Structure 1
């Protein structure tokens, strides 16, 4: 397949792996890149810039194909060392940076001066337009169906994707709710030039999470997610389990503060659940596309199947227009 996204990043297929916290490690990114997509490492999964440098080296040893690094800028009293992370990314020779979160302007500017291609992930058209004005090379637009933080506008991909394609000059990647070739075909028909998938890649053999978690995604339906943190104006989508059920119960009491749920939603607790396979013991961020997941293939099998199905669906749609 050839789109502006494949040309921009030097990849065979316009399929990008999401920069998932705790999951987007070298094994995951290398498998996606080797299969013709664009693998992504997540900087903040690593405890410090030195560990990030080692993880990039591990990924470079596993693939000679392009891969990128996600740098998500989070509001925090004691923020991570973002500048040092970017120093490592630039020095490592990585040529693709994915940014997300608050105020990425300074980091985008530094990356561009260093010759990196930058894709910015956002959940609204206004933020996409701002990122375009800052000089990013592509936008990944995240619909309300997605895992993690979909924002608080509650606008799904069916609206965001064509809006972004209409209003932006740079290429658009559709993110959120995509797990198969039908979704990919729909995204391309709506004006996107690539797709980004997180949840679907969690249910692959190479994903560095426990098999129990992968099977939970296979067993779940599209109705098995919760929207948590709504009263805090920091909405996140997570798998329905004992912990997210408890969070929802606390939030429904009213006047909830983050301290009331901190012990339930800590990142270390979520990471422990992913690694131990104790599905009920932590927040597990997944999108509504879990309803489309019914097997655990390799990344290569998944990508080839998606591309074949996408081509088939596009050809069928074209035949209807003749």
Structure 2
């Protein structure tokens, strides 16, 4: 068993986290990951109202007695979002782990501390992680440039970002972006992280609440099949390369404004992709890691396989290399 500062902090068995994903982080998937010994996370804003989040939390609790988390991503939106109410519901329902992303979580920290909530803040830069540490979060998730969704504007890949974070942070942190198997977990631990956070890999599991055609598209995809949108707006997002996302990128590259692509990138269209299985129906998020995703296992089989493979790499192949060096 791999024990790290992160597993000890949250009381979980394995240093594997299912990240918050819009339209994907629902009860069946989160519960399956937690039951397997990782940390499953519900995505608050997937639920249309705070009361719907309450219902989803209770549904998840019926499926698992293990720790679960709630993701709250605070970003500018077309329509106002009652973030405070989502936070209140999560706290009222006894959620003990909240993953924050986007805006600084500092305004919510007194409430979280009062109720014993462990806060994991997602960052794309070491400077942001240090600021999060300063405001009192318990851990951070460091997103490398390979990640799906918002990779930030610095374009620093995990191979550099993870050890850079390890050199500066005192609190536990997990690595995000490009992780999908035991090799990645072993590498993250070697680079100084205390675990990994995976989004795209958990999309291609049996419990993920998305259409089988989308899961197959991820299996069929390669590391070349993503595209960066919103770059000229400095709100970069990594999504699957298709007709819709390519058209939006072209419009913005030619000087277009967000209003010119809003009809293409609307979240409702991305949700249609996941529900109907038409991968050309809208813009949808997936990472470069799809290049090493080759099957659609259960969440439990995936977590167990990743941990077992990482343990074998650490105690087997890598240890063997050290022994060979000594004998030489």
Q: TM-score, normalised by structure 1?
A: 0.98
Shift of 1:148: 0.3
Who is 2:169 aligned against? Answer: 168
8 Å CA contact retained: 1:211, 1:277: yes
Who is 1:89 aligned against? Answer: 90
* 2:267 equivalent to 1:258: no
8 Å CA contact retained: 2:27, 2:57: yes
Shift of 1:259: 0.5
**Distance across 2 between alignment mates of 1:16 and 1:214:** 19
8 Å CA contact retained: 1:231, 1:256: no
Residues 91-112 of structure 1, C-alpha deviation per residue, up to 9 Å, x if partnerless?
Answer: 1011111111112111123211
Aligned ranges for residues 142-221 of structure 1 at < 5 Å? 142-221=143-222
8 Å CA contact retained: 1:109, 1:134: no
Who is 1:269 aligned against? Answer: 269
Who is 2:248 aligned against? Answer: 247
Residues 139-173 of structure 1, C-alpha deviation per residue, up to 9 Å, x if partnerless?
Answer: 10000000000011001111111111110000110
Count residues in correspondence.
321
Who is 2:326 aligned against? Answer: none
Q: Answer with 70-79 or 42-51: which moved more.
A: 70-79
Residues 72-126 of structure 1, C-alpha deviation per residue, up to 9 Å, x if partnerless?
Answer: 1112465311111111001101111111111211112321121111111110011
Who is 1:291 aligned against? Answer: 291
Moved over 6 A (4+): none
Who is 2:237 aligned against? Answer: 236
8 Å CA contact retained: 1:49, 1:85: yes
**Distance across 1 between alignment mates of 2:190 and 2:129:** 20
Gaps of 5+ in 1: none
**Distance across 1 between alignment mates of 2:175 and 2:64:** 25
8 Å CA contact retained: 1:75, 1:102: no
SS at structure 2 position matched to 1:93: coil
Q: TM-score, normalised by structure 2?
A: 0.96
8 Å CA contact retained: 1:26, 1:59: yes
**Distance across 2 between alignment mates of 1:318 and 1:139:** 29
SS at structure 1 position matched to 2:174: strand
Who is 2:80 aligned against? Answer: 79
8 Å CA contact retained: 2:203, 2:210: yes
